[in-house]
Structure 1
Amino acid sequence: MLGCLANPVTAQDQMQVEDFDSIELYTLENQSGAKVQITNFGAIVTSIVVPDRDGNLGDVALGYDSVESYINAVDKPYFGAIVGRYGNRIANGEFTLDGKTYSLATNNGPNHLHGGVIGFDKVVWDAEPTAVNGKPALKMIYLAKDGEEGYPGNLQIAVTYQWTDENKLIVHYEATTDKATPVNLTQHTYFNLAGEGNGTILDHELMLNASKFTPVDSTLIPTGELRDVEGTPFDFRKAKAIGRDVGVENEQLEFGLGYDHNFVLDSSDEDGDLTLAARVSEPTTGRTLEIHTSEPGIQFYCGNFLDGRLVGKSGKPYVHRGGFCLETQHYPDSPNQSAFPSAILKPGEKYDTTTVFHFSAE
């Protein structure tokens, strides 16, 4: 056992995969028995077990019970993974930096997605049990080498997961580089607050703290516009059911086959330097999820490509829109869009961002 009994970090299982070193599954459990499980393959969050309004524990994160399933998943859903070096899309798999054009894999139609063919979701990270403010945590460390997936610079990354007694999953991202490079790390967990595998998420009530979003073209690359959500299906400033407007006639929803868009976060002062980004509630169980972040944007994806072919750890198929993602981030295609906040990390600088996922019930 690693860490203290109040919030243990334990290496629970050894999982062997051909052509990979030993993969471990770690558990962070708090005093109430709520817990998060994380593997050092892809720094994936495989499980988040939290109580409903009656105190019943349930797993709200979609995922698998074997590394093989994560490797071989149809349509590469990125369940629970840290994605990078650049999360989301880069147009035509290329960008120009300091006068040099870099070519990346085009693994999503004509575009580059989530770091390429072998992104951070498909590598083995070094796991290091640690402490944050005296509380046990798990640090995942990875060195992305210069030229890996076409990106410049040796990028040293650390992602620290902390699970608190208040059922907060705190994710702290750090990185340094020896060459200027785009960096956009995010956590790609799919949530279903009714419990993974328990139907669709269309009745979940979602609030997004965003007055604008970044509309996209037919390949889901932002056009460069920051569009007001007022009067559109993208207005989640007041909580509404995810399914209320997802089927209305709208070009943006047609392009995404539903919601798959970056929202421009409005600033707030509710949590120091972290902005309230989103709040989701599930009416049957009473479970809620509130997200705060230091990032300028959040990608809302409502599971449009889930179709029942993927069967999760509970043996249940993940149906169409059976999970949602809320990925805190810099905007998609920022390396090619000078009007967007810069996602370029330079030598001597430190990439340092935090996102908090707070689970509760009411």
Structure 2
Amino acid sequence: MMKALFTLSILPLSVLSAWAPPGPDGKYTLTAPGITAKFIPYAACITNLLVADRNGTLRDVILGYDNATFYPVDPNHSDYGAVPGRYTNRIANHTYVINGTRYYTEANDGNGTLHSGLNGWSHRVWNVSDVTATSITFTIRDESNSSLGMPGLVLGTVTHSVSNNTWSTKLSAVAVDHDTPLMLTTHPYWNLDAFSNPKTDLIFNHTLSLPFSKRMLGIDPATECTGAIPEVPAGSINDFWSKPKQLGASINDPAWVGNCGTGSGCSGYNNQWVVDRNASEMALPVATLSSAYTGIKWDLYTDQPGVVVYSCFWMGGELCLSCATL
């Protein structure tokens, strides 16, 4: 079993000094019992995550490139393993208002903005501020308007660490001199079969559970948030709360096509579920993904109130049609 812990807090940037060089493959390798993870400064990316399957065979369950130099030149730039920012996800109609002032951002996703535009944090080389055998810290100094329409200096830090069968990430950011949108996340793509299943290289056979997610964010045809927070009926295409089910279980449901955006006919999932928990449930996983083929199970723990599931509709076939990102 593998666990992942993600926390987000808005904190002052720590001053860190230790440093160690990457390996010959250009990646920094962290190891702990039951887990090995590799990272690069570009986008503060995780590039590999190796865990043992039920037979003890090591499987790399994170989608990434063997050659670290390909990340910044990939023409598709699918944010494999990246930390997007300073504002992740979408800004509808590439505009927003703060303190009575309207700002306009880069329209890089139709008429909307995705991950702060084409110069967001997932397109930047971060500083390596601290490295040990089990953790690495990346920092970034994001100057005002370096991403169009994002005012003020922001200092960001991301610390990845590993421990027994666990990968943990802590993301922090502070707006130094101006109010500005801040929202961070990690962007891994998972294949718990590690592309080793002879019957399929897709992830529709993976089983997902979202036990605290009886609501989700409403989206418009362009996959942008409408502000609605609809209930998820038991047995519906988006129901992973009443019981676990495979990601492809609803593939023949009439709602499958357009479920993640009717404007493009997005099929499957690119949606955000609300995580509703009481105090006694905060230590429980908000999502569990598992593969019957490898026996690998992944539990997600977070202090955040939502989780996004993407089943790779826009990935095409040339790079990946067989991964999920949560």
Coarse TM-score class (shorter-chain normalised)? 0.7 to 0.9
Question: How far off its partner does 1:96 sit?
Answer: 0.5
Amino acid at match of 1:121: S
Measured at CA, do residues 285 and 268 of structure 1 come closer, stay the same or move farther in structure 2, by a change above 3 Å? farther
TM-superposed CA distance for 1:201, in Å, is: 0.4
C-alpha contact (below 8 Å) 2:213/2:276 kept by paired residues: yes
State the identity as a percent: 28
Give matches, 1:297-312, under 5 Å.
297-310=306-319
* Letter of the 1:145 counterpart: E
Distance 1:266 1:139, change over 3 A: same
Residues in 2 aligned to 1:11 and 1:274: alpha-carbon distance in whole angstroms: 35
- Residue 130 of structure 1: CA displacement? 5.0
Q: Which moved more, 1:60-69 or 1:80-89?
A: 60-69
> Normalization by structure 1: what TM-score?
0.77
For these two proteins, the number of residue pairs brought into alignment is: 295
Structure 1 SS opposite 2:183: coil
Counterpart residue number, 2:239 = 235
Name the structure 2 match of 1:43. 44
- Displacement of 1:215 in angstroms is 1.9
Cα deviation, 1:292-335, whole Å, max 9, x if unaligned, reads 1111111110111222212xxxxxxx2x2x00011xxxxxxxxx
Answer yes or no: is 1:267 the counterpart of 2:277: yes
Q: Give 1:194's aligned amino acid.
A: D
Instruction: For 1:115-264, list aligned pairs within 5 A.
Output: 115-130=116-131, 136-149=134-147, 150-164=149-163, 166-177=164-175, 178-196=177-195, 199-208=201-210, 209-231=212-234, 232-237=236-241, 238-250=243-255, 251-253=258-260, 255=262, 256-264=266-274
> What amino acid sits opposite 2:318 in the alignment?
R
Instruction: Give the Cα separation in 2 of the matches to 1:186 and 1:68.
Output: 23
| Counterparts of 1:106 and 1:144, CA distance in 2 | 20
Q: What corresponds to 2:323 in structure 1?
A: 323
- In the alignment, residue 272 of structure 2 is paired with which amino acid? N
Flag structure 1 segments of 5+ consecutive residues without an equivalent.
1-8, 16-23, 311-317, 327-362
Q: Which residue of 1 aligns with 2:287?
A: 278
Paired residue secondary structure (1:227): coil
Distance 2:214 2:67 in 1: 40
User: SS where residue 187 of structure 1 aligns?
Assistant: coil
Shift of 1:69: 2.3
Inter-partner Cα distance in structure 1 for 2:50 and 2:20: 16
- Work out whether residues 268 and 275 of structure 1, in 8 Å CA contact, stay in contact via their aligned partners in 2: no
Query: Residue type of the partner of 1:161?
Result: H
Give how far 1:43 is off.
0.4
2:145 & 2:196 partners in 1: Cα distance?
Answer: 39
d(CA) in 2 for partners of 1:88, 1:221: 9
Matched residue type, 1:36: A
Cα separation, 2, equivalents of 1:207 and 1:73: 32
Q: 1:108 to 1:274 in 2, by over 3 A?
A: farther
2:214 alignment partner AA:
S
Amino acid at match of 1:143: R
Query: RMSD in angstroms over aligned alpha carbons?
Result: 2.0
**Secondary structure in structure 2 of the residue aligned to 1:82:** coil
Q: Is the 8 A contact 1:10 1:28 kept in 2?
A: no
Partner of 1:103: 104
**Tell me, what secondary structure is at the counterpart of 2:70?**
helix
Distance 1:110 1:122 in 2: 20
Q: Hey, what's the Cα distance between the residues in 2 that align with 1:139 and 1:268? A: 31
1:83, 1:119 within 8 Å by CA — same for their partners in 2? yes
From the superposition, tell whether residues 239 and 10 of structure 1 become closer, same or farther in structure 2 (CA, over 3 Å).
farther
2:297 is matched with which residue? 288
The answer (yes or no) to whether the contact 1:275–1:294 under 8 Å persists in 2 is: no
SS in 2 for 1:121: helix
Q: CA deviation at 1:275?
A: 5.6
Residue type matched to 1:245 in 2? S
Over residues 167-200 of structure 1, what are the superposed CA-to-partner deviations in whole Å (9 max), with x where a residue is unaligned? 1111001111121111111110100000057500
Could you say if the C-alpha distance between residues 270 and 122 of structure 1 is closer, same or farther in structure 2, counting changes exceeding 3 Å? farther
Consecutive unaligned residues in structure 2, runs of 5 or more:
1-18
- Greater strand proportion: 1
Superposition pairs of residues 334-349 of structure 1, within 5 angstroms: none
CA distance in 2 between partners of 1:258 and 1:68 (Å): 31
Alpha-carbon distance in 1 for matches of 2:79, 2:184: 13
Task: Indicate the residue corresponding to 1:344 in structure 2.
Answer: none
Inter-partner Cα distance in structure 2 for 1:170 and 1:121 = 19
Deviations 1:92-143 (A, max 9, x none): 1110101111111011111000121111111111112257xxx841111001
**Which secondary structure state, in structure 1, belongs to the residue aligned with residue 72 of structure 2?**
helix
Do 2:206 and 2:290's aligned partners in 1 also have CA atoms closer than 8 Å? yes
CA deviation after TM superposition for structure 1 residue 254, in Å? 5.3
With structure 2 as the length reference, what TM-score do the two structures score?
A: 0.85
1:129/1:136 contact within 8 Å kept: no
